[in-house]
């Protein structure tokens, strides 16, 4: 009887402790560009629902596209060529500014295709991806990312160590009217669930009661 009660009490304490570390993942941003311009191709497009073109220009690939881009549209739907048709590559900056707290775990995902031709200035198409001050990476065409290949999915996990605010940015270098293609951008945040005070109290009480009951049981067994 005593052992049964002790087991139940300790189990309650463990359950309470588990609840304190439970996390929930939430999708906070997603864009596949299929709703832009009714899915129709547009050069030097800037009327994005979720982005500002903060430098240079970008092209929207959709229906009525031609060449290598038209092949990708058939399987992927609309997407963005980050080196538009003005001779200056573009920068896409999310209109949404994100706020993150210490302990947040972020998952950033996006699809890239190297595009149809190399950059005339650098030889390789180069793209810088950043999220505020907490993340920055560089993609360049070449070995492992050859031209005229389908979209490839990229995913990274970011652990936030201090409170920060920032935007998601895709910045292409150079400018020769054709660059790296972007599609299916997603950002998820996993936050620690803050338990209610009664949950904390219940877990603490259960553990304390279990420890006290164990001592009492030990004394009873010695008699």
What are 82-127's pLDDT values in tens digits? Answer: 999 998 999 999 999 999 999 999 999 999 998 876 555 556 789 9
Average per-residue pLDDT for the chain:
80
Q: How far apart are CA 53 and CA 90, in angstroms?
A: 7
pLDDT in the model for residue 117:
63
**Residues 162-205 pLDDT 10s:** 999 999 999 999 777 889 999 999 999 998 665 655 444 455 55
How far is the CA of 174 from the CAs of 46, 90, 94, 122, 167, in angstroms?
A: 19, 9, 21, 7, 22
Work out the number of other CB atoms within 10 angstroms of the CB of residue 223: 4
pLDDT in the model for residue 52:
98
Whether pLDDT at 71 is above 60: yes
Domains of the chain from N-terminus onward: 25-190 (2.60.120.260)
Mean pLDDT score, 41-65: 93
**Does residue 114 contact residue 69 with C-beta atoms inside 8 Å?**
no
pLDDT category at 74 given cuts 50, 70, 90 is confident
pLDDT in the model for residue 141:
84
Mean pLDDT score, 147-164: 92
pLDDT in the model for residue 142:
76
Model confidence, pTM:
0.75
How far is the CA of 10 from the CAs of 18, 22, 178, 218, 220, in angstroms?
A: 12, 19, 64, 16, 19
């Amino acid at each position: 009887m005593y052992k049964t009660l002790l087991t139940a009490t300790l189990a309650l304490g463990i359950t309470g402790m588990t609840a304190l570390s439970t996390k929930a993942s939430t999708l906070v941003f997603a864009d596949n560009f299929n709703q832009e311009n009714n899915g129709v191709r547009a050069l030097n497009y800037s009327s994005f629902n979720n982005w500002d073109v903060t430098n240079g220009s970008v092209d929207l690939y959709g229906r009525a596209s031609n060449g290598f881009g038209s092949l990708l549209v058939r399987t992927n739907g609309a997407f963005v060529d980050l080196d538009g048709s003005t001779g200056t590559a573009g920068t896409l900056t999310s209109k949404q500014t994100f706020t993150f707290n210490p302990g947040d775990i972020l998952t950033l995902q996006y699809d890239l295709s190297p595009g149809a031709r190399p950059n005339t200035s650098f030889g390789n198409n180069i793209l810088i991806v950043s999220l505020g001050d907490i993340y920055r990476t560089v993609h360049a065409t070449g070995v492992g990312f050859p031209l005229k290949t389908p979209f490839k999915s990229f995913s990274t996990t970011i652990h936030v160590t201090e409170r920060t605010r920032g935007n998601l940015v895709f910045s292409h270098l150079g400018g020769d009217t054709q660059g790296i293609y972007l599609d299916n951008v997603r950002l998820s945040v996993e936050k620690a669930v803050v338990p209610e005070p009664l949950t904390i109290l219940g877990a603490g009480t259960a553990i304390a009661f279990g420890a006290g009951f164990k001592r009492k049981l030990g004394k009873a067994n010695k008699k």
